[in-house]
Structure 1
Amino acid sequence: MDVLRILLDGISRNRILFGLLAIFALFPIYTGMADLPFWNDLAMRIMLLGMAAMGLNLVLGYGGMVSFGHAAFVGIGAYCVGISQYYGLFNGWVHVLMALGTCGVLGLIIGFLALRTSGIYFIMITLAFAQMLFFLFVSLEQFGGDDGMSIDRAEFMPIDLWDPLRLYYLIWTSLTLVSILLMFVVGSRFGVVLRAIKDNESRVEAMGLAPLQFKITGYLISAMICGLAGALFASWQEYVSPDIMHWTRSGELMIIIILG
């Protein structure tokens, strides 16, 4: 019965998710007819925050790992765009690859160190790493320090992102791909084990599995998704600052997950 309940719950969630994606896909048609183009900006912000929250939800909702540091990965993804443009690199595809790679490496390192603990200790370690990165970028006056830095919209050739609708659908496509990826991850053997670790880690270990490896992998995937959201957020906002990686931003993502 529990397996059936989980299966039906998953199907219900997927229907809601794809229903929302369909609404976002059609939303610009409504705003165009109603002459409310500025609502598209609000929708893009919602989609980007939703993408970051989905990344965090992989470890928080499915893995039971309460992380107060995931906004740092969003910020790192954004600064991959800002710093690249500072040195004359405007290719958005390269920005995305840099954000995924950098956040993947950081997620692996932080996960390896933090996931050997649990509970309040894990929360405080992730918070400490996030604040270390926050104050690091505050101190980097070369890249604007606490004031941040203005940037140009990245060049995703052959897509002209100066057309707001094309930027909108790039973000929508990214969110859709992330949603499909997470749907398969959660439904895979890996996702089943991750949920089992949340319920009873000792039992998973007694079955001959290595919980730490699964948790680190989940943390890495989660960090990369947040990095992607950050890179797209920077191109949409055309501005990056350390504020995006403050621990309160992680709290906002957690509130989104709880309300969702």
Structure 2
Amino acid sequence: MPGRLENKVALITGAGSGIGLEASFLFAREGCKVVCADINGKAGVAAVERITSAYPSSAKFVKVDVGKEADVAAAVAFAEREFGALHIVFNNAGIMHSADDNAETTEETVWDLTMQINVKGVWWGCKHALPALRRAGGGSVINTASFVAVRGAATPQLAYTTSKGAVLAMTRELAVIHARENIRFNALCPGPIRTPLLMDFLNTEDKKQRRLVHVPMGRFGEAIEQANAALFLASDESSFITGTDFVVDGGLTAAYVTPEGETMTKCPHVNFSGV
């Protein structure tokens, strides 16, 4: 039985870990040729080795700093050169800076770096992929945003939240512009996920609980759960879906407050600002 991405070629940024790693393996399992792009060469090579040990000749690595436009353009060219076409782009790479906080304390260097990678990096991924997707007769672009693109975060992270709101708005605009070209754009909006990126940011038990108290399912999501959502958006099963904020968040954005959260917000020593 053919895979859900049979005869497709995908470029996935941030493929060395977390959601990008799980998506790369899953896409290959479904018959896709995958270009694994990451700034971390060791992690990217390891990702390709993991994939090709199960699905030979299905993945290649390219080192990419998405904060540099030339790197992003080169990755698109690499995908077409190595696999003959490009049908799927998963602009997944991003950062969450440990010094990111509120409007008064977040430094300008942190703000600028976050925008460079999380916003410009996605823009360049879309910009340079478009000609290749046209040559392929259409395709799917998935941009990783976040639940904080539609809700404020309980833990201050102003630059990150702002960047993900920009990704969501950008995705909607591009979806409308290119809808008649058979090129779809959707924003994947994960809830709190157990990835190194988030766990490094939520570096105390208090910070973790401040996040989890808002999740009706009461747990962090897993990277593979986001990868499964990305697979759906990449596949022809979602052929009439474009311009969405595809939220995969354990019910977080559906809830005003969970029963546990109602109890904890009454504790005078705990500040749950952002509920």
Task: State the TM bucket, normalised to the shorter chain.
Answer: under 0.3
Larger RCO of the pair (alpha carbons < 8 Å, separation 6+): 1
Structure number with the higher strand fraction is 2
TM-score (norm 1): 0.27
TM-score, with length taken from structure 2: 0.26
User: Which structure has more helix as a fraction of its residues?
Assistant: 1
